[in-house]
């Protein structure tokens, strides 16, 4: 009685085909997972940029407080509080495109520190060459600029006729590498204090 000690050519060919199919499936699954991971990584980084830009704008506007002043007698007053004082902390929405219907394209205001009256920082948010910029000017006149987001379009700040303490914000943030990836933001920031005035004004 004879026993086979090897494989026939057909068996080897079938085994090779099965091994190749298994290898191909492994490669396809790996490539699919790698593509999904890269897609998720790209979108996660973009979403982080969107959240950071939104947080910066929201926090800056939310931090607007009344301006405290000291008179000749050492009394402290909120700017706009005394009779005849018509200048509270003014949040100005600057209409730079000459179209009042879409609001202002820049926003300017002051950040104040109650226990240090001299620390009044002028803050300006605006677009420059497609980037959302944050410019601050300290009491000494020193200016600092920060790029909040590299690619932003359609930046508009709006007032709400039903709520004089609300600032609406609209902007579109684009991915630095893929302009097809974009996020349209539309949110409102409510100022929780009196003696602040939000006003849409023509840019000079």
Q: What is the pLDDT of residues 14-59, one digit of tens each?
A: 777 787 788 777 777 767 665 555 656 667 888 999 999 999 999 9
Residue 189 DSSP SS3? strand
Predicted model pTM:
0.75
- Within-domain flag for 65: yes
Residue located via tokens 């000017």: 137
- Within-domain flag for 192: yes
- Within-domain flag for 136: yes
Q: Do 136 and 143 touch, CB atoms closer than 8 A? A: yes
How confident is the model at residue 8, as a pLDDT?
A: 74
Burial class (CB in 10 A: 0-12, 13-18, 19+), 203: middle
Bridge partners of 112?
120
- Within-domain flag for 118: yes
Q: What b/e readout covers 98-132, taking b as 16+ CB neighbours within 10 angstroms?
A: eeeeebbbbbbbbbbeeeeeeebeebbbbbeeeeb
How confident is the model over 85-135, as pLDDT tens digits?
666 778 999 999 988 889 999 999 999 876 666 678 999 999 999 999 999
Range of the domain at 184: 42-202
Q: For 191-204, what is the mean pLDDT?
A: 84
- Within-domain flag for 98: yes
- Within-domain flag for 24: no
Per-residue pLDDT at 165 exceeds 60: yes
Q: Do 169 and 162 touch, CB atoms closer than 8 A? A: no
Q: For 180-194, what is the mean pLDDT?
A: 91
* pLDDT winner (highest mean) among 2-6, 22-26, 73-77, 153-157: 153-157
**In the numeric block, which tokens belong to residue 160?**
């709400």
- Within-domain flag for 18: no
Q: Cβ atoms within 10 A of the Cβ of 149, count?
A: 23
Total number of domains in the chain = 1
pLDDT band at 65 (very low <50, low <70, confident <90, very high): confident
Long-range contacts formed by 166-170: CB under 8 A, 24+ apart: 166/190, 166/191, 166/198, 167/61, 167/91, 167/93, 167/107, 167/191, 167/198, 168/103, 169/57, 169/58, 169/61, 170/103
């Amino acid at each position: 009685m004879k026993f086979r000690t090897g494989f026939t050519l057909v068996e080897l060919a079938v085994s090779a085909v099965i091994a190749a199919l298994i290898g191909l499936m492994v490669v396809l699954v790996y490539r699919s997972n790698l593509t999904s991971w890269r897609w998720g990584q790209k979108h996660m980084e973009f979403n982080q940029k969107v959240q950071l830009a939104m947080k910066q704008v929201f926090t800056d506007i939310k931090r607007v407080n009344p301006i405290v002043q000291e008179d000749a007698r050492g009394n402290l007053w909120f700017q706009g509080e005394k009779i005849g004082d018509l200048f509270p902390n003014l949040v100005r929405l600057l209409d730079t495109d000459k179209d009042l219907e879409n609001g202002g394209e820049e926003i300017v205001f002051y950040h104040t520190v109650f226990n240090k009256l001299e620390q009044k920082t002028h803050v300006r948010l605006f677009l420059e060459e497609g980037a959302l910029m944050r410019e601050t000017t300290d009491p000494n006149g020193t200016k600092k600029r920060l790029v909040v987001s590299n690619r932003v379009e359609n930046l508009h700040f709006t007032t709400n006729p039903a709520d004089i303490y609300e600032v609406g914000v609209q902007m579109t943030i684009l991915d630095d590498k893929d302009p097809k990836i974009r996020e349209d933001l539309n949110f409102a920031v409510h100022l929780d204090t009196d003696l602040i005035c939000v006003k849409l004004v023509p840019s000079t």
